[in-house]
Structure formats: C-alpha cells, structure tokens
C-alpha cells in the first residue's frame, strides 16, 4: 500500500489479487449538517493496461509515479495521465512471478524487486517511458563473409530487406546477418537482441552490436528474429545486469568444460601410459621366452641327446653308465620344464585356446599309460588371460595329473574344462583308490595347489573317499577381452 496527500485529500494505492486500486479520501463535508469522510475508489486492471491483475508490490519514485510488481512483470503507472508501460523478460527482467512485498528502494533511489527467478534492480530516472517501438530490418546477409551477390551458388537476387525466406545448400554453413533499428534519433543508443529459433534457447542481448554469425548449423528449418529498443534504451540497467549474469553463467560453464576436458586428457594420458607399460612388458616377455628357448632350452636338449648317445657305447663302465642315465633323465625333464616356462612367458600364448592346447599336450605326455578323456567346448571364444591366471591354472592342472599318476592307482582319468559367466571351470576326476580327505596331511603337492588357487582368488574343492576315486574342482574368475 502506498499513500500521498494532495491538499485536503488522501490518496491510497492498494494492490490486490484483482488489480490496482486508488482510494481517494476527502474530509470535505457534503453539506453543513453532515460531517463525514468521502471515499472514492478507482480500479485499474489489465483492461486499463496493467500487465497482470495480481499485484504483489508497489514502489513510488521521486515523481510520485508507481512501479508495480505483478505476476507477469513490472508495470510503470504514470499518475498524471494514468497510463501503464509494461516490462517483462524481453526488456531484461529475470522473469517469473514477483514475490509479495519483496520490493524496496535504496538510499541511492535504486528500486529493487524480488521474483521467483531472481533479483531485479534499476534506477527509475534512467528508464525512458517512450512508447515508440522502432521497426528492425535485416540490412545485409553474407555467406562465408562475402555478400550474397558474390556467391555464385546463391539464388538470392532481390534485396534482403524484402526477403522472407532463404534456402541454402549443405555447404553454405557459415553465414551472417546484419540488422538495424529504424530509430534515427540516437542510433548509437539502440539496443538489440536476436534469436535463431531451433538453435538459440533464449534471446541473446548484444547491446548495440548489429550483426551475428552462425556456423555449422544442422540441416533443418530455422527462424531468425531480431528486436531493438528505441534510442532511450528502456530498462537498460536491468538488461545490463542480466547480461552480466549470463556472462558469469557462461564463464562458469566454460570453466567446468575446461576442467572436464583436462580431466579427460589426464585419464587418456594415464591409459596411454598404462598401455605403453603393457607393451613394454610384452616385449620383455617375448625377449625372455626367446632367450630361454634359444640358449638354455637348446643346451638341455643337447645334454639329453649326448647322454643318450653315450649310453649306447658298450665299453662304458656300468656305474658310469647309470650316472649318465640319470643325467639324461634330468636333462630330459629339465628340457620339458623349460618348454613349459617358455610357453608361460610368451605373451602370444595368453589365450584360453592356447591353454587348452597345452593342457591336452601335457595329458598326452603324462597319462600315456592310462585311459583318459579331455572334454572342452569346440567353439571356445577368444579370451585373453592374465599371465597370473594362465600360470597358476596350468600348474594346478599339471600337479593334479602328477598326483594321479604317482598315487591314485587309477585306470581312467576324466578332464573337463569350460568357460561360463567370465569363469574358467576345471574338473579333474579319476577312478583310483581315493583317500580320506580329513585324515591326509597336506603334502607339498596339495599345499602348492591350494596356494596357487588362493593367489588367483579361485575356489578349489577336493572330494575323495577310499575306493571311490578323487575329484578336483577349480573355479576362477577371469578378465575377458574379446577380439
């Protein structure tokens, strides 16, 4: 509510949910016999020019004129000619509904209005009340910074001022508009805003700049709009504050984008470094495997071969011959072990198919005197194993076969290997004499198997009963890389 006095009259301005009300209170008696107040009520609504009937706040400037916060913007009410001038988002206001009683005047005569979208402030002395709305025209159109008359591909021949539609080909994707207000009173004071419907999300206030360039728009239909204030620059202070706010918001967005880009770059560098380390590891493993095969493996094979040839010499003392025989067996065993080590070291064999092939080879060498069956999927997918998983699964398998040969007395051995849900599942069973798993002590062989399963986070079960054979079940999670 606002009030002012005029001679012997009191004028009250009341804002309600149904408009602006002017109460004129006079204490002049109607006649000598009756002494009573005379109250006249005048109502102003949207029909009189008010922006919205829901009046939330009222401030009075130094000239006695009213600035009214409503649910649809700010209305200026000239009390002399009783006319309204309305201002909204297009004039730079933050938008939203203005809050009830959220308005005040500072000592510097700045008016502040709070809305659901933010704070709006301006100096009423700097706000022109001119109702003149100048026309805005597009004065020039360029493609790749060249006037359309110089573009051989363009079919735009008439003056751009009269052009309602422009059709461009896909490669004419860099173009500019120039525009101007037809208010020539003080053209340098004209303020502009533009928007490309379908591309820009909101009006872009560009001050007194009169051109805009668009590049790389997606194919489609767009509507370009431009508007301007008159030379008085209505509510320029509000628009300037809004522009600064948007600038800060844009700077914050760009800062976040830069930080995210730096983070992505750091992550990419880390991945590249890790990849380079893996490549270096592969090179080292390849070199070690080749050196072991070429040097040590070759020497062990030579020792085994020479020992075998010497044993055929009938002139050698039997005791010496026995020692040479032991040398030949050790060399042969070491040569086989060296081949296993070379296979384990070589990165080109880090594949489940190569593991199956090696396991089949080992079974053929170790179970030659038994009946055995090795079952595995014939359509194994490409799975790259880590060196740790490959090494430990292989040695668990080999140690298990060695125990069967040495201790089980079995006649049949059944081996099954499968892959399911990113797991290797290995089951080895025999029909040997079996043993009591609760009574047996963990010798080196069984201890090694349990330690290897633990090292790769595998689940190992050993089931056996006297006279009923033995079954080993190993389940290991694997890292799966498909080509």
Residues 6+ apart with CB under 8 A from 19: 43, 44, 45, 46, 50, 53, 55
Contact call for residues 214 and 124 (beta carbons, < 8 A): no
Residue 411 clears pLDDT 90, i.e. is over it? yes
- Relative to beta strand 470-477, strand 423-430 is antiparallel
What is the rounded CA–CA span in Å between residue 334 and residue 300? 7
Mean pLDDT of 84-95: 79
CA dihedral (330, 336, 341, 342) positive or negative: positive
Q: What pLDDT, in 10s, does the model give residues 16-44?
A: 999 999 988 876 655 545 556 678 889 99
Residue 82 clears pLDDT 90, i.e. is over it? no
With cut-offs at 50, 70 and 90, classify the pLDDT of residue 483. Answer: very low
Q: Which long-range contacts (CB under 8 A, 24 or more apart) does 449-453 make?
A: 449/396, 449/399, 449/400, 452/392, 452/395, 452/396, 453/392, 453/396
Of 12-26, 182-196, 421-435, where does mean pLDDT reach its minimum? 182-196
Residue 319: strand, helix, or coil: helix
User: Across the chain, what does the average pLDDT equal?
Assistant: 79
Residue 441 clears pLDDT 70, i.e. is over it? no
Can you give the pLDDT at residue 232?
47
Report which DSSP code applies to 165: -
With cut-offs at 50, 70 and 90, classify the pLDDT of residue 290. Answer: low
Q: What is the DSSP string of 346-374?
A: -GGG-BHHHHHHHHHHHHHHHSTTSEEEE
Can you give the pLDDT at residue 98?
87
Q: How far is CA 442 from CA 4, 250, 395, 451, in A?
A: 104, 70, 17, 11
What is the rounded CA–CA span in Å between residue 85 and residue 49? 8
Higher confidence at residue 3 or residue 115?
115
Of 57-66, 132-141, 182-191, 315-324, where does mean pLDDT reach its minimum? 182-191
Higher confidence at residue 219 or residue 378?
219
Enclosing H/E stretch for 289? helix 236-291
Can you give the pLDDT at residue 54?
92
Residue 356 clears pLDDT 80, i.e. is over it? yes
Contact call for residues 210 and 179 (beta carbons, < 8 A): yes
Can you give the pLDDT at residue 157?
46
Can you give the pLDDT at residue 233?
44
Residue 10 clears pLDDT 60, i.e. is over it? yes
Of 147-156, 341-350, 416-425, where does mean pLDDT reach its minimum? 147-156
Enter the tokens of residue 229. 């204030």
Can you give the pLDDT at residue 278?
67
Can you give the pLDDT at residue 24?
87
Nearest to 73 by CA among 62, 85, 58, 88: 88
Residues 6+ apart with CB under 8 A from 385: 350, 351, 352, 355, 393, 478, 479
What is the rounded CA–CA span in Å between residue 300 and residue 110? 98
Report which DSSP code applies to 77: E
Contact call for residues 59 and 67 (beta carbons, < 8 A): yes
Residue 331 clears pLDDT 60, i.e. is over it? yes
What is the rounded CA–CA span in Å between residue 66 and residue 75? 8
The strand order across the sheet containing 66-70 reads: 55-60, 66-70, 73-78, 83-87
Can you give the pLDDT at residue 412?
94
What phi and psi, each to the nearest 5 degrees, are found at residue 334? -65, -35
Mean pLDDT of 221-244: 65
Mean pLDDT of 365-389: 86
Q: What pLDDT, in 10s, does the model give residues 121-132?
A: 888 888 766 556
Residue 236 clears pLDDT 50, i.e. is over it? no
With pLDDT > 90 as the criterion, what percentage of the chain qualifies?
Answer: 21
Residue 384 clears pLDDT 70, i.e. is over it? yes
With cut-offs at 50, 70 and 90, classify the pLDDT of residue 178. Answer: very high
Q: Give the angle subtended at the CA of 342 by the CAs of 378 and 393, to the nearest 5°.
A: 50
What is the rounded CA–CA span in Å between residue 318 and residue 103? 118
In our burial notation (b when 16+ CB lie closer than 10 A, e otherwise), range 310-332 reads eeeeeeeeeeeeeebeebbeebb
Mean pLDDT of 247-254: 83
What is the rounded CA–CA span in Å between residue 232 and residue 132? 10
Q: How far is CA 303 from CA 113, 247, 322, 337, 379, in A?
A: 99, 82, 15, 15, 41
Residue 271 clears pLDDT 80, i.e. is over it? no
Tokens 């004209």, residue located: 190
| CA atoms within 13 Å, Cβ hemisphere of 36 | 7
Mean pLDDT of 133-155: 73
Can you give the pLDDT at residue 481?
42
Nearest to 97 by CA among 75, 67, 68, 71: 71
Best-predicted range by mean pLDDT (266-280, 337-351, 429-443): 429-443
Residue 325 clears pLDDT 90, i.e. is over it? no
Can you give the pLDDT at residue 188?
61
Mean pLDDT of 140-169: 72
Mean pLDDT of 188-204: 84
């Amino acid at each position: 509510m606002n009030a002012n006095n005029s001679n012997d009259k009191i004028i009250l301005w009341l804002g309600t949910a149904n408009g602006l009300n002017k109460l004129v209170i006079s204490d002049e008696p109607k006649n000598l016999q009756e002494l009573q107040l005379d109250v006249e009520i005048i109502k102003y609504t949207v029909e009189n020019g008010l922006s919205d009937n829901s009046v939330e706040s009222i401030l009075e400037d130094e000239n006695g004129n009213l600035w009214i916060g409503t649910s649809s913007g700010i209305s200026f009410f000239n009390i002399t000619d009783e006319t309204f001038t309305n201002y909204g988002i297009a004039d730079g206001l933050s938008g939203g509904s203005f809050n009830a009683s959220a308005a005040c005047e500072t000592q510097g005569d700045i008016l502040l209005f709070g809305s659901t979208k933010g704070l709006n402030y301006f100096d009423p002395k700097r706000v022109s009340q001119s109702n003149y709305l100048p026309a805005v025209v597009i004065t020039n159109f360029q493609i790749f910074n060249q006037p359309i008359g110089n573009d051989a591909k363009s079919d735009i021949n008439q003056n751009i001022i009269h052009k309602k539609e422009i059709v461009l080909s896909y490669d004419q994707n860099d173009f500019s508009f120039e525009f101007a207000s037809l208010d020539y009173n003080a053209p340098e004071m004209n303020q502009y805003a533009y928007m490309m419907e379908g591309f820009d999300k909101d009006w872009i206030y560009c001050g007194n700049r009169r051109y805009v360039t668009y590049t790389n728009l997606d194919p489609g239909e767009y509507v370009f709009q431009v508007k301007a204030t008159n030379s008085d620059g209505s509510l320029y202070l509000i628009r300037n504050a809004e522009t600064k706010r948007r600038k800060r918001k844009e700077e914050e967005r760009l800062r976040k984008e830069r930080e995210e880009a730096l983070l992505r770059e750091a992550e990419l560098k880390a991945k590249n470094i890790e990849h380079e380390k893996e490549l270096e590891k592969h090179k080292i493993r390849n070199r070690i495997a080749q050196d072991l095969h070429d040097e040590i493996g070759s020497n062990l094979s030579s020792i085994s071969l020479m020992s075998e040839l010497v044993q055929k010499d009938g002139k050698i003392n039997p005791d010496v011959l026995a020692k040479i025989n032991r040398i030949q067996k050790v060399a042969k065993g070491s040569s086989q072990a060296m081949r296993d080590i070379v296979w384990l070291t070589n990165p080109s064999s880090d594949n489940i198919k190569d593991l199956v092939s090696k396991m089949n080879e080992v079974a053929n060498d170790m179970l030659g005197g038994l009946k055995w069956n090795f079952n595995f999927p014939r359509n194994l997918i490409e799975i790259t194993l880590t060196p740790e998983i490959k090494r430990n699964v292989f040695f668990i398998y080999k140690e298990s076969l060695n125990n069967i040969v040495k201790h089980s007395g079995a006649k049949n051995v059944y081996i099954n290997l499968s892959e399911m849900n990113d797991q290797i599942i290995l089951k080895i069973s025999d029909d040997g004499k079996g043993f009591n798993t609760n009574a047996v002590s963990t010798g080196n062989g069984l201890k090694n198997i349990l330690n290897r399963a633990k090292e790769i986070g595998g689940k190992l079960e050993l089931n056996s009963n006297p006279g009923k054979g033995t079954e080993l079940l190993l389940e290991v999670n694997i890292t799966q890389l498909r080509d």
